[in-house]
Structure 1
Amino acid sequence: MFSKTRVTEPGPRSPSPETDLNRPAMDHHFDLPAQQPARTRSGPSVLSSDLTVKGNITTQGDVQIEGTVEGDIRAHQLTVGETATIRGEIVADEIIVNGRVVGRVRGLKVRLSATARVEGDIVHKTIAIESGAHFEGSVQRQEDPLGNGVTPKLAPPAAARIDAKAE
Protein backbone atom coordinates (compact mmCIF):
# COMPACT_ATOMS: atom_id res chain seq x y z
CA MET A 1 0.00 0.00 0.00
CA PHE A 2 2.72 2.49 0.90
CA SER A 3 6.04 2.87 -0.76
CA LYS A 4 9.06 3.67 1.34
CA THR A 5 9.66 6.97 -0.47
CA ARG A 6 6.17 8.24 0.37
CA VAL A 7 6.60 7.54 4.08
CA THR A 8 10.01 9.20 4.37
CA GLU A 9 9.36 12.20 2.17
CA PRO A 10 8.96 15.42 4.19
CA GLY A 11 6.06 17.80 3.74
CA PRO A 12 2.30 17.49 3.64
CA ARG A 13 0.67 14.47 2.10
CA SER A 14 -2.28 14.70 -0.18
CA PRO A 15 -4.94 12.02 0.00
CA SER A 16 -4.81 9.44 -2.70
CA PRO A 17 -6.52 6.11 -3.19
CA GLU A 18 -3.56 4.44 -1.47
CA THR A 19 -3.64 6.55 1.72
CA ASP A 20 -5.91 6.07 4.70
CA LEU A 21 -8.77 8.55 4.19
CA ASN A 22 -9.92 8.18 7.78
CA ARG A 23 -6.78 9.94 9.05
CA PRO A 24 -6.61 13.72 8.62
CA ALA A 25 -3.91 14.98 6.28
CA MET A 26 -0.96 16.51 8.11
CA ASP A 27 -0.48 20.17 7.38
CA HIS A 28 2.87 21.42 8.62
CA HIS A 29 2.29 25.05 7.66
CA PHE A 30 0.74 27.25 10.35
CA ASP A 31 -0.13 30.93 10.04
CA LEU A 32 -0.99 31.69 13.66
CA PRO A 33 -1.22 35.26 14.89
CA ALA A 34 0.98 36.35 17.77
CA GLN A 35 -2.05 36.31 20.08
CA GLN A 36 -4.45 33.47 20.64
CA PRO A 37 -7.25 33.40 18.08
CA ALA A 38 -10.67 34.53 19.23
CA ARG A 39 -12.70 31.68 20.66
CA THR A 40 -15.81 30.75 18.81
CA ARG A 41 -18.77 30.33 21.09
CA SER A 42 -20.46 27.00 21.01
CA GLY A 43 -23.14 26.03 23.50
CA PRO A 44 -22.74 26.60 27.22
CA SER A 45 -20.94 24.19 29.53
CA VAL A 46 -23.64 22.32 31.45
CA LEU A 47 -23.33 20.90 34.95
CA SER A 48 -26.11 18.33 35.23
CA SER A 49 -28.58 18.02 38.10
CA ASP A 50 -26.84 14.98 39.59
CA LEU A 51 -23.50 16.82 39.87
CA THR A 52 -22.16 18.53 43.02
CA VAL A 53 -19.11 20.79 42.76
CA LYS A 54 -17.22 21.93 45.86
CA GLY A 55 -14.90 24.71 44.75
CA ASN A 56 -14.77 27.75 42.53
CA ILE A 57 -15.62 27.75 38.82
CA THR A 58 -14.01 30.28 36.46
CA THR A 59 -14.54 30.53 32.71
CA GLN A 60 -14.71 33.15 29.99
CA GLY A 61 -17.51 31.20 28.35
CA ASP A 62 -21.12 30.44 29.16
CA VAL A 63 -22.21 28.07 31.94
CA GLN A 64 -25.54 26.45 32.75
CA ILE A 65 -25.80 24.98 36.26
CA GLU A 66 -28.46 22.38 36.97
CA GLY A 67 -26.77 20.75 39.98
CA THR A 68 -25.22 22.05 43.20
CA VAL A 69 -22.18 24.32 43.48
CA GLU A 70 -20.57 25.21 46.80
CA GLY A 71 -18.18 27.95 45.75
CA ASP A 72 -17.88 31.10 43.69
CA ILE A 73 -18.63 31.20 39.96
CA ARG A 74 -17.22 33.65 37.36
CA ALA A 75 -18.44 33.39 33.77
CA HIS A 76 -19.48 35.39 30.73
CA GLN A 77 -23.09 34.22 30.93
CA LEU A 78 -24.44 32.14 33.81
CA THR A 79 -27.77 30.37 33.81
CA VAL A 80 -28.91 28.89 37.11
CA GLY A 81 -31.39 26.13 36.28
CA GLU A 82 -34.57 25.40 38.22
CA THR A 83 -33.00 22.38 39.93
CA ALA A 84 -29.75 24.20 40.77
CA THR A 85 -28.47 25.44 44.12
CA ILE A 86 -25.45 27.73 44.33
CA ARG A 87 -23.86 28.65 47.66
CA GLY A 88 -21.33 31.36 46.92
CA GLU A 89 -20.81 34.56 44.96
CA ILE A 90 -21.69 34.59 41.28
CA VAL A 91 -20.17 37.14 38.90
CA ALA A 92 -21.02 37.33 35.18
CA ASP A 93 -21.88 39.74 32.40
CA GLU A 94 -25.34 38.19 32.19
CA ILE A 95 -26.98 36.16 34.96
CA ILE A 96 -30.30 34.34 34.62
CA VAL A 97 -31.56 32.78 37.85
CA ASN A 98 -34.26 30.13 37.65
CA GLY A 99 -33.15 28.18 40.75
CA ARG A 100 -31.65 28.92 44.18
CA VAL A 101 -28.69 31.17 44.99
CA VAL A 102 -27.39 31.75 48.51
CA GLY A 103 -24.77 34.49 48.23
CA ARG A 104 -23.95 37.71 46.43
CA VAL A 105 -24.92 38.16 42.77
CA ARG A 106 -22.91 40.63 40.64
CA GLY A 107 -23.73 41.15 36.98
CA LEU A 108 -24.23 43.67 34.22
CA LYS A 109 -27.63 42.14 33.42
CA VAL A 110 -29.39 40.17 36.15
CA ARG A 111 -32.73 38.44 35.62
CA LEU A 112 -34.66 36.60 38.30
CA SER A 113 -37.37 34.41 36.79
CA ALA A 114 -40.59 33.48 38.56
CA THR A 115 -38.97 30.30 39.95
CA ALA A 116 -35.88 32.09 41.32
CA ARG A 117 -34.95 31.94 45.02
CA VAL A 118 -32.14 34.35 45.94
CA GLU A 119 -30.82 34.94 49.46
CA GLY A 120 -28.14 37.61 49.21
CA ASP A 121 -27.26 41.00 47.84
CA ILE A 122 -27.55 41.81 44.14
CA VAL A 123 -25.18 44.33 42.53
CA HIS A 124 -26.17 45.07 38.93
CA LYS A 125 -26.23 47.53 36.06
CA THR A 126 -29.69 46.39 34.90
CA ILE A 127 -32.10 44.06 36.67
CA ALA A 128 -35.39 42.32 35.92
CA ILE A 129 -37.40 40.48 38.54
CA GLU A 130 -40.39 38.48 37.38
CA SER A 131 -43.55 38.18 39.45
CA GLY A 132 -43.26 35.15 41.74
CA ALA A 133 -39.49 35.38 42.29
CA HIS A 134 -38.39 35.12 45.92
CA PHE A 135 -35.63 37.53 46.92
CA GLU A 136 -34.17 38.34 50.34
CA GLY A 137 -31.37 40.87 50.38
CA SER A 138 -30.37 44.27 49.09
CA VAL A 139 -30.24 45.56 45.53
CA GLN A 140 -27.67 48.10 44.42
CA ARG A 141 -27.12 49.57 40.96
CA GLN A 142 -23.54 50.26 39.88
CA GLU A 143 -22.06 51.32 36.55
CA ASP A 144 -19.35 48.64 36.92
CA PRO A 145 -20.69 45.81 39.09
CA LEU A 146 -17.98 43.47 37.78
CA GLY A 147 -15.10 45.69 38.94
CA ASN A 148 -12.21 43.81 40.49
CA GLY A 149 -12.47 45.92 43.61
CA VAL A 150 -14.35 44.47 46.54
CA THR A 151 -17.90 45.74 46.72
CA PRO A 152 -18.61 47.01 50.23
CA LYS A 153 -21.28 45.24 52.23
CA LEU A 154 -24.59 46.90 51.58
CA ALA A 155 -26.29 48.78 54.41
CA PRO A 156 -29.32 47.15 56.01
CA PRO A 157 -32.75 48.59 55.24
CA ALA A 158 -33.69 51.83 57.05
CA ALA A 159 -36.14 50.06 59.39
CA ALA A 160 -33.40 47.71 60.58
CA ARG A 161 -31.11 50.67 61.30
CA ILE A 162 -33.77 52.36 63.44
CA ASP A 163 -34.20 49.17 65.49
CA ALA A 164 -30.42 48.89 65.91
CA LYS A 165 -30.21 52.47 67.31
CA ALA A 166 -32.99 51.80 69.82
CA GLU A 167 -30.91 49.12 71.57
Structure 2
Amino acid sequence: MFSKTRVTEPGPRNQTPEQAEAPRSLDSNYDVPASAAPSRPRTSGPSVLSSDLTVKGNIQTQGDIQVEGTIEGDIRAHQLVVGESATIRGEIVAEEIVVNGRVIGRVRGLKVRLSATARVEGDIIHKTIAIESGAHFEGSVQRQEDPLANGVTPKLAPPVNRGNAADE
Protein backbone atom coordinates (compact mmCIF):
# COMPACT_ATOMS: atom_id res chain seq x y z
CA MET A 1 0.00 0.00 0.00
CA PHE A 2 2.83 2.41 0.77
CA SER A 3 5.89 2.92 -1.36
CA LYS A 4 8.98 5.02 -0.98
CA THR A 5 9.37 8.11 -3.08
CA ARG A 6 12.29 10.40 -3.63
CA VAL A 7 10.96 12.74 -0.96
CA THR A 8 11.43 10.15 1.80
CA GLU A 9 14.53 8.33 0.51
CA PRO A 10 17.77 9.50 2.07
CA GLY A 11 20.66 10.11 -0.29
CA PRO A 12 23.84 8.03 -0.22
CA ARG A 13 25.69 8.49 3.07
CA ASN A 14 29.05 9.21 1.45
CA GLN A 15 27.88 12.40 -0.28
CA THR A 16 28.69 15.82 1.05
CA PRO A 17 25.75 18.18 1.71
CA GLU A 18 26.57 20.11 -1.47
CA GLN A 19 26.33 16.92 -3.57
CA ALA A 20 23.06 15.72 -2.05
CA GLU A 21 19.94 16.48 -4.07
CA ALA A 22 17.75 19.16 -2.54
CA PRO A 23 14.48 17.78 -1.22
CA ARG A 24 11.48 18.35 -3.47
CA SER A 25 8.39 20.09 -2.22
CA LEU A 26 5.26 18.02 -1.76
CA ASP A 27 3.38 19.85 -4.50
CA SER A 28 5.88 18.92 -7.23
CA ASN A 29 4.53 17.17 -10.28
CA TYR A 30 6.05 13.71 -10.53
CA ASP A 31 5.98 11.64 -13.65
CA VAL A 32 3.54 8.78 -13.12
CA PRO A 33 3.76 5.82 -15.49
CA ALA A 34 0.60 5.34 -17.54
CA SER A 35 0.09 1.90 -16.00
CA ALA A 36 -0.01 3.43 -12.50
CA ALA A 37 -2.51 6.17 -13.37
CA PRO A 38 -6.02 5.09 -12.39
CA SER A 39 -8.46 5.04 -15.30
CA ARG A 40 -11.40 4.56 -12.92
CA PRO A 41 -11.98 5.57 -9.36
CA ARG A 42 -10.81 3.26 -6.60
CA THR A 43 -13.29 0.55 -5.74
CA SER A 44 -12.68 0.80 -2.01
CA GLY A 45 -16.37 1.39 -1.36
CA PRO A 46 -19.13 3.87 -2.02
CA SER A 47 -19.11 7.52 -1.04
CA VAL A 48 -21.59 7.86 1.81
CA LEU A 49 -23.69 10.98 2.32
CA SER A 50 -24.82 10.73 5.95
CA SER A 51 -28.33 11.21 7.27
CA ASP A 52 -27.57 14.65 8.76
CA LEU A 53 -26.34 15.99 5.39
CA THR A 54 -28.45 18.11 3.01
CA VAL A 55 -27.10 18.83 -0.47
CA LYS A 56 -28.64 21.40 -2.82
CA GLY A 57 -27.16 20.84 -6.26
CA ASN A 58 -26.29 18.11 -8.72
CA ILE A 59 -23.93 15.23 -7.95
CA GLN A 60 -21.93 13.40 -10.62
CA THR A 61 -19.39 10.60 -10.20
CA GLN A 62 -18.12 7.53 -11.99
CA GLY A 63 -18.06 5.70 -8.66
CA ASP A 64 -20.68 4.44 -6.24
CA ILE A 65 -22.79 6.54 -3.86
CA GLN A 66 -24.87 5.67 -0.82
CA VAL A 67 -27.26 8.45 0.17
CA GLU A 68 -28.70 8.56 3.68
CA GLY A 69 -29.45 12.32 3.79
CA THR A 70 -31.43 14.76 1.64
CA ILE A 71 -30.45 15.69 -1.92
CA GLU A 72 -32.19 18.44 -3.89
CA GLY A 73 -30.73 17.96 -7.35
CA ASP A 74 -29.88 15.35 -9.94
CA ILE A 75 -27.52 12.42 -9.28
CA ARG A 76 -25.46 10.59 -11.89
CA ALA A 77 -23.34 7.66 -10.70
CA HIS A 78 -22.22 4.13 -11.49
CA GLN A 79 -24.18 2.59 -8.62
CA LEU A 80 -26.58 4.38 -6.27
CA VAL A 81 -28.13 3.15 -3.03
CA VAL A 82 -30.86 5.33 -1.56
CA GLY A 83 -30.98 4.60 2.17
CA GLU A 84 -34.17 4.27 4.20
CA SER A 85 -33.73 7.72 5.75
CA ALA A 86 -32.86 9.39 2.43
CA THR A 87 -34.94 11.77 0.34
CA ILE A 88 -33.92 12.68 -3.20
CA ARG A 89 -35.71 15.40 -5.18
CA GLY A 90 -34.39 15.20 -8.73
CA GLU A 91 -33.47 12.81 -11.50
CA ILE A 92 -31.36 9.73 -10.77
CA VAL A 93 -29.24 8.17 -13.51
CA ALA A 94 -27.07 5.12 -12.71
CA GLU A 95 -26.26 1.67 -14.01
CA GLU A 96 -27.58 0.07 -10.83
CA ILE A 97 -30.07 1.74 -8.49
CA VAL A 98 -31.41 0.39 -5.20
CA VAL A 99 -34.13 2.49 -3.57
CA ASN A 100 -34.85 1.93 0.11
CA GLY A 101 -35.95 5.52 0.86
CA ARG A 102 -37.84 8.29 -0.92
CA VAL A 103 -37.31 9.57 -4.48
CA ILE A 104 -39.31 12.39 -6.04
CA GLY A 105 -38.29 12.53 -9.70
CA ARG A 106 -37.36 10.38 -12.66
CA VAL A 107 -35.26 7.24 -12.16
CA ARG A 108 -33.16 5.93 -15.08
CA GLY A 109 -31.04 2.81 -14.70
CA LEU A 110 -30.02 -0.49 -16.24
CA LYS A 111 -31.00 -2.35 -13.05
CA VAL A 112 -33.56 -0.73 -10.76
CA ARG A 113 -34.71 -2.29 -7.50
CA LEU A 114 -37.38 -0.88 -5.20
CA SER A 115 -37.25 -2.47 -1.75
CA ALA A 116 -40.26 -2.85 0.53
CA THR A 117 -39.45 0.50 2.21
CA ALA A 118 -39.13 2.44 -1.09
CA ARG A 119 -41.31 5.46 -1.86
CA VAL A 120 -40.99 6.65 -5.46
CA GLU A 121 -42.99 9.48 -7.06
CA GLY A 122 -41.92 9.70 -10.69
CA ASP A 123 -41.29 7.74 -13.84
CA ILE A 124 -38.89 4.80 -13.95
CA ILE A 125 -37.00 4.04 -17.15
CA HIS A 126 -35.10 0.76 -16.88
CA LYS A 127 -33.67 -2.28 -18.61
CA THR A 128 -34.53 -4.60 -15.70
CA ILE A 129 -36.67 -3.82 -12.65
CA ALA A 130 -37.59 -5.51 -9.39
CA ILE A 131 -40.28 -4.16 -7.08
CA GLU A 132 -40.63 -5.80 -3.68
CA SER A 133 -44.00 -6.20 -2.00
CA GLY A 134 -44.73 -3.14 0.14
CA ALA A 135 -42.93 -0.61 -2.10
CA HIS A 136 -44.96 2.54 -2.83
CA PHE A 137 -44.74 3.77 -6.42
CA GLU A 138 -46.61 6.51 -8.29
CA GLY A 139 -45.66 7.04 -11.91
CA SER A 140 -45.03 5.10 -15.07
CA VAL A 141 -42.59 2.32 -15.81
CA GLN A 142 -40.95 2.05 -19.22
CA ARG A 143 -38.45 -0.54 -20.41
CA GLN A 144 -35.65 0.61 -22.74
CA GLU A 145 -32.57 -1.17 -24.02
CA ASP A 146 -30.41 1.85 -23.14
CA PRO A 147 -32.09 3.86 -20.38
CA LEU A 148 -28.84 5.72 -19.67
CA ALA A 149 -28.87 7.47 -23.05
CA ASN A 150 -29.04 11.24 -22.65
CA GLY A 151 -32.08 11.52 -24.88
CA VAL A 152 -35.41 12.07 -23.20
CA THR A 153 -38.32 9.73 -23.49
CA PRO A 154 -40.13 10.38 -26.78
CA LYS A 155 -43.53 11.99 -26.32
CA LEU A 156 -46.50 11.96 -28.65
CA ALA A 157 -46.91 14.88 -31.02
CA PRO A 158 -49.74 17.25 -30.18
CA PRO A 159 -52.94 16.70 -32.14
CA VAL A 160 -53.12 18.49 -35.46
CA ASN A 161 -56.18 20.64 -36.12
CA ARG A 162 -57.40 19.35 -39.48
CA GLY A 163 -60.31 21.72 -39.65
CA ASN A 164 -63.93 20.92 -40.05
CA ALA A 165 -65.30 19.48 -43.30
CA ALA A 166 -68.22 21.95 -43.10
CA ASP A 167 -65.75 24.86 -43.48
CA GLU A 168 -65.00 23.95 -47.09
Looking at structure 2, the residues matched to 42 and 153 of structure 1 have their Cα atoms a distance apart, in angstroms, of: 41
| 2:73 is equivalent to residue 62 of structure 1 | no
| 2:44 is equivalent to residue 33 of structure 1 | no
Task: After TM superposition, list the pairs within 5 Å mapping 1:121-132 onto structure 2.
Answer: 121-132=123-134
Give the letter for the 2:55 counterpart.
Answer: V
Q: What is the deviation of 1:5?
A: 2.5
Structure 2 counterpart of 1:163: none
Structure 1 counterpart of 2:21: 10
Looking at structure 1, the residues matched to 67 and 18 of structure 2 have their Cα atoms a distance apart, in angstroms, of: 49
Greater Cα offset, 70-79 or 30-39: 30-39
Structure 1: gaps (5+ residues)? 13-27, 155-167
Using the size of structure 2 for normalisation, the TM-score is 0.74
- 2:142 is matched with which residue: 140, 143, 146? 140
Give the letter for the 1:147 counterpart.
Answer: A
Structure 2 counterpart of 1:72: 74
- 1:149 is matched with which residue: 138, 148, 151? 151
Identity of aligned residues (%): 77
Q: Give CA-to-partner distance per residue, 1:60-96, whole Å, 9 cap, x none.
A: 0000000000000000000000000000000000000
Looking at structure 1, the residues matched to 49 and 59 of structure 2 have their Cα atoms a distance apart, in angstroms, of: 11
Using the size of structure 1 for normalisation, the TM-score is 0.74
Higher helix share: 1
Looking at structure 1, the residues matched to 17 and 44 of structure 2 have their Cα atoms a distance apart, in angstroms, of: 39
Looking at structure 2, the residues matched to 51 and 152 of structure 1 have their Cα atoms a distance apart, in angstroms, of: 35
Q: Aligned pair in 2 of structure 1 residues 153, 136: CA closer, same or farther (>3 Å)?
A: farther
How many matched pairs? 139
Looking at structure 1, the residues matched to 19 and 90 of structure 2 have their Cα atoms a distance apart, in angstroms, of: 57
